[in-house]
Structure formats: C-alpha cells, structure tokens
A and B are shown apart, each in its own frame.
Chain A
C-alpha cells in the first residue's frame, strides 16, 4: 500500500492518438446518443424542469393555504394539485434525479469505466422516463383533469367509480413507463458496478457515492417490479372488471396499500441513498480528509437497504390490520445506521480544514435538515404517536424536511460536479445566497407545519377553520415556500450568469476520486489514461505523491489532514 507514484504531469491529457468520436450533432445527437454523459445531462435537465413544475404546484398550494378560505383554486383543482405535486416530485423529479441524472454521469467515471454496461438500455431508460413524465402531466389536458386521488392512489378511492376519467389512467400509464425506466436503470447500474470497474478498483475501494448507487440499484430491483404489478392490477380493476382491490367482488382494498408501500418505503431510500452518497463525497473533499469510517458507511448503507424492506406498514398503522410491534421495531432500527452516517459525516469534518464552498454549505445544510426530518420520523415510528399525528401536517412536515434535505443534497451535487460535467465553474457568491435562501426557507416552511400538525390540522385540505394562530403559522410556511422558490430561481440565474465564464480545469476542488482525474468535461469513453488505484482516493494519491496511500483504518492525521 505504499507505492510511490510518479509526480503529477499532464498525464490525463496525453495520448492524442485516442480515437475521437464523430457522432451526429444537435437534436439528432440528443435522440441517438448512447453516451452516459449525454443521457445523464438529459436526465438532469428534464428532472430540474420537473422540479420547477412540481415547485409551481407547491407555490399554488401554499398560496391557497395562506388564507383560511382561500379562493386561488377550486376544491377539485386543489385535489389535482396536491396529487400532481407529490407525483411529479417523487416519481418524476427526486427518483430520476437521484439514480438517472448524476448517477448516470458520475458512477461510470468514478469506477474507471468507459460507459454504462448497457448503453442502449440506458438511452431507453431516458426515453421511457421522458414519455412517462409527459403521459402523467398530460392528465391536465383531459376533460376531467389530472389524477386527484393523492400520490398514493389508495383503493377504493382510485377505482373507476370514485375516480372516473382518463387523468387517472394517464397517471397509471405514466407510472408504468417511469417504473420500467427505473428498473432498467437499476439493472444497468448494478451490472456496471459489478463488471466494469478498473483494475485495482476493488469493491472496498469504490467511492461511497458508487456504493450507495449500487445499493440503490438493488433496492430498485426489489421494489419497482412490485409497484408495476400493483399498477397493472389497479388498471385491470378500473377497466377489465377484476375485483382485486374491491370488497364488492371479494377483493381486499388494503392489499393496494401493502403493495404500494412495499414499493413506497424502499423508494424513500432509493431517493435518499444517492444523496447520502453525494454528501459523503463532498464533505471529505472540502474537509481535506479521507472519509471517516469508510466501511462503517458501507455497512450502514447496506443495513438501511436490508431494513427498508421490513418497514412498509408503518405508513399503515391506522388501518388496524398490520402487525404494529414488528413494523415499529424495524422502523426504529433504521435510526441506527442512519445515525452512524450522521456521526461519520461529523467525524469527517472534525478537525478538518473546512472550505466553506457552496457545495460544502449545501452538504452541511443537508445534514442538519435531514437530521430534523429523521428525528421526527422516529416519533412517527411509534404507533401511539402515529395514531395521534397520522394524516396531519406533522407527517407532511416530517417528509418535507427529509425531501428538502435531498434538494439541498442535490444542489450540493450540482455545485460539486457541475464543473466536471460542463467544464465551467458556477458563481460562488450567487451560490451562497442561494444556499441561505434555500436553507432558511426550508426551516421557515417546515417548522410551522410541525406545530400545525400537532394542533391537528389535517393534510390535503384546501380550506381550514378561521383561527388566527393557524393562519399565522400557514402564512409563515407559505413565506418559507416563497424563499425556496426564489432560491431555485437563483440557481437558474447562476447557470445563466456563469455560462462558459470560468473554466474549471480537471480538478478544481483537489478532490479524491477518479472522475477528477480525467478532463472536464470528460472525453468520449471518459479516460485517456488511468492512474494506479491503491486506495479509495486514487486521484488524491496521484496528485499528492508525498502522502502514502493509506489502507482502511489507518488514517494518519499527520499525513492526510493537508
């Protein structure tokens, strides 16, 4: 483990004999590409567009709730809005952004692979995601409006009697397409990570981001087929006269909830793990230290995945037909590996030389916000407390703390890897203003909702009783939502302002992993050359030959805290 490497030269750029790729350009490039970087960029842009669409729905919802008897939208429109807000954010933004966008671009480069294992399947994933998104949103243009049964589509509300109209069918169809897209991406990621690693890149030298994406891929393969099967049965119930979810024909409505949440809770970790991974890449780089407790992180990720399959019915405590102690214990257990992760993030920053770049600020904001969301999740894992708060704004506040943490983590990822993807740095000043707007906005938005929930305000209601305190809390929450909206706007402004201004160079952050070894943006098939891989930080080892590559558990602070 003590190889002395050559001093850094312009090694990554050499070898002009490398066969340049001459493909089509323009729209034909977008349609025919199988390059994981271009597909990943398409994913990123589409997902950010979905974030803006879902965000607009959220702003309308918060506008409606700013007064007790809001008249911004009708009651029926409100149902469509909160359904589509949840659906767009979960199905069309968070998931695809997590495992389609940055993962697609970064994972193959981090392990030294020329592309994803199945490039054409990768392209198909994107087209299914795009067409699925269009299908779901097309519901707004049908006579009956978009789906309006909540993003969870509980039976029997979602049957053809209670929710007629093609908006609901388009919702199901869109989910089928995006579901297959996710499954194909899962297959692709797992195969890439298992089979296309560079020599010397053993499993326990993979960057944590890649580890998390591997576990995410496994979870996708466990969870998404269940949802797809459930949706096909739902469609059959609506149109082919089956009675799988209807009592009238001998079916079981709560079966839908079992199937939905057997997908739905692993989905939470499918969303969260990639962002955990991003943050775990960013914090060590900007603390000038190796990650604290690498193996602990890996096993924490694996145990989150293992436990996540056994917690689905904590969403169903109030149905009265689930095994409360089992699901309560399993849900509480998840706090242990998650706690390990938070401990390790803090341990990584401890005594580091912290560089408060925008990416690092966003990552710290993620840890804080996720901690709030995670701790309130522990309350909800306890059935007596859940009976009290189920379907109140407390639950809404809990999962918005979690998903807003993911937005912070995603922004951290975009600021960190953006220069690698585009070749240009983003403006740090605007980035820091964006961070403070987003971070403060998130807390101002969620904390009043916790109080409202404990006071008993139910979710999914377009109007609420005249109560000065409730209105006051709702107004604060709406104000927070405006701050979040402004921060997203600032991100778009930042892209416009920094467009092709400051070239990033190969490694603007003096980072650790292989994607920073190649050029920005990387060439077709990613690398001209690869360094020897002797630790989980091959690029750092190459750029800092004065430091010996360290084996796990031997992080000498003298040698590594530079």
Chain B
C-alpha cells in the first residue's frame, strides 16, 4: 500500500508546486483552480492510502516473497452476468437524447436509470453468482 500512496502523494505534491508557481506567475484563475483540484486528487486518495498503509500489515501483493497460497480465499464478488449495466446505459442514452429530441425522453430515460439502480443494488445484496 505504501508505494501506491507515495505515487499519489508525489503527483499531488508536484501539482501543488506547479499550481503555486503558475498561479503566482500568470495570475490566470482557470488554470490555477484546475491545478489546485488536481493537487487535491493526488492528496486525498494518497493521504487515505498512506494513513492505512501505516495501520495494516503488508498485503501478499506488497510482499516480494509471498507465495500464491497466501492469496487463497475470497478475492471479491465478481458477478458473472448482469442485465443492469445495459439497462442503466440505455437509460443514460435516453437522458442525453432528451437534450436534443425533447424533454419527454427524460421519462423513459430516468425510469430506466432508477429501475437499473434498484435492480443492480438488489442484485448486489443477493451476492454470489448473479
């Protein structure tokens, strides 16, 4: 976890320095704000990883001498098939088409989005092969 944290923190630090130099030198706000936000994107997850890396044992994937047996057990839940991403995608498609073809497209679009969110959540709660 330490390496991951250091990469993100390092990028955040670089963006922060660049932001300070650029903003003070150019006095242009759009780029300054965007670079500041980029710095946060390095620091927030980087800081979180760093905080955890000091409080947990090295994971098998962080250990250069780990054997495959140490990774035994449940890795995570990987649903084999699911209809809900397709439903959600079609809903989002219709929502975007509403920007062009008329506001009424929002009705089926948002309907599909809500349906997919409910269905997908229920599917996730059941767990296992879904």
Contacts and interface: CB of A to CB of B under 8 A. Distances in A.
Contact of B80 (A35, A126, A197, A218): A35
Contacts of A194: 4, 49
A457 interface: no
B115 interface: no
Interface in A193-240: 194, 196-205, 218, 221-222, 226, 235, 239
Given A199-B68, A221-B41, A313-B31, A120 B11 contact: no
Contacts of A529: 68
A283 interface: no
B88 A124 contact: yes
B interface SS class: helix
A87 interface: no
B122 interface: no
Contacts of B93: 127-128, 131, 134-135, 177
Given A32-B81, A131-B90, A312-B31, A202 B22 contact: no
A226 B37 CA distance: 10
A469 to B, nearest CB: 41
Given A124-B89, A259-B30, A202 B67 contact: no
Contacts, number: 175
Question: A interface, how many residues as a size bin?
Answer: 35 or more
Given A120-B79, A124-B88, A323 B61 contact: no
A197 B62 CA distance: 9
Residue in B14, B62, B81, B86 whose Cβ sees the most chain A Cβ within 10 Å = B81
Contacts of A29: 81
B127 interface: no
B83 to A, nearest CB: 5
Nearest to A211: B7
Nearest to A174: B96
Given A200-B63, A302-B7, A114 B78 contact: yes
B110 interface: no
Contact of A309 (B8, B35, B82): B35
A322 B96 contact: no
B3 A177 contact: no
B31 A173 contact: no
Interface in A163-188: 166, 169-170, 172-174, 176-177, 180
Given A128-B89, A176-B96, A199 B64 contact: no
A115 B78 contact: yes
B99 A169 contact: yes
Interface string A520-536: 00001100011111100
Given A131-B96, A172-B99, A259-B34, 16 more contacts: A32-B83, A32-B86, A114-B76, A123-B86, A166-B100, A174-B96, A198-B60, A199-B66, A200-B60, A200-B63, A200-B66, A262-B31, A302-B10, A310-B22, A524-B80, A530-B68
25 contacts: A29-B81, A31-B83, A120-B79, A120-B84, A127-B89, A131-B90, A169-B100, A173-B96, A173-B97, A177-B92, A198-B71, A199-B69, A199-B70, A200-B66, A202-B61, A235-B99, A239-B99, A258-B31, A258-B34, A305-B11, A309-B35, A310-B18, A326-B25, A330-B18, A530-B71
